């Protein structure tokens, strides 16, 4: 006598969904909560380190699209001074070849991924915009030393307060539960 045939299957299914009521939701509330991206993300908005750049234009030669425009003149100490360094990120396909080609680690992929602009001209980034700032951090792509310092990727929001999460406010059901899944 198999009890699956007497409505036990339905009861099991109902019990399973009932248990789900007491689990924490796995929803990521995007603009407020953000997950850590991969440490080697080829995010947009390349990062340019002005002090390491020699103006050799290897990156511009490596670019399959020809997006990088670089203009230099010879400085006092027999070096190149970069007058203009512009990347058209609107046409960039984020292959990362410029970063791999740079002999002095002066160029890195960025970690940010929110690149929407209101004007088409705004996606062409100039010398000042390309430098490191709070919102423009270099990723570990082809840069193992940067990668070692970055936080690890996570795929879920952690609801547990001990792990730096926040409490859930839907009838307080999931307060005592652990991580998202």
User: What is the contact surface with another protein in residues (CB under 8 A)?
Assistant: 5-7, 10, 13-14, 16-18, 20-21, 23-27, 29, 169-170, 173
Tell me how far, at minimum, the Cβ of 33 lies from another protein, in Å.
11
Name the β-bridge partners of 47.
108
Pull the structure tokens for residue 113.
């991924």
CA distance linking residue 107 with residue 82, whole number of Å = 14
Question: What phi, psi does 97 have (nearest 5°)?
Answer: -70, -35
Q: Which residue's CB is nearer to another protein, number 126 or number 154?
A: 154
Q: Which residue's CB is nearer to another protein, number 7 or number 64?
A: 7
- Whether the Cβ atoms of residue 140 and residue 169 lie closer than 8 Å to each other: no
Tell me how far, at minimum, the Cβ of 181 lies from another protein, in Å.
8
Tell me how far, at minimum, the Cβ of 26 lies from another protein, in Å.
6
Q: Which residue's CB is nearer to another protein, number 17 or number 149?
A: 17
CA distance linking residue 48 with residue 34, whole number of Å = 25
């Amino acid at each position: 006598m198999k009890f699956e045939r007497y409505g036990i299957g339905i009861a099991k299914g109902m019990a399973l969904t009932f248990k789900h009521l007491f689990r924490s939701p796995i929803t990521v509330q995007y603009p407020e909560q953000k997950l850590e991206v991969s440490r080697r993300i080829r995010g947009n908005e390349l990062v340019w380190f002005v002090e390491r750049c020699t103006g050799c234009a290897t990156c511009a030669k490596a670019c399959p699209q020809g997006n990088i425009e670089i203009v230099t003149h010879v400085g006092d100490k027999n070096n190149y001074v970069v007058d203009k360094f512009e990347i058209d990120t609107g046409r960039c396909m984020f292959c990362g070849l410029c970063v791999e080609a740079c002999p002095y680690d002066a160029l890195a992929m960025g970690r940010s991924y929110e690149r929407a602009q209101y004007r088409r001209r705004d996606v062409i980034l100039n010398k000042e915009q390309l430098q490191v700032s709070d919102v423009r951090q270099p990723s570990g792509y082809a840069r193992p030393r940067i990668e070692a310092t970055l936080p690890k990727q996570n795929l879920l929001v952690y609801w547990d307060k001990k792990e730096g999460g926040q409490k859930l406010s839907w009838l307080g059901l999931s307060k005592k539960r652990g991580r998202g899944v």
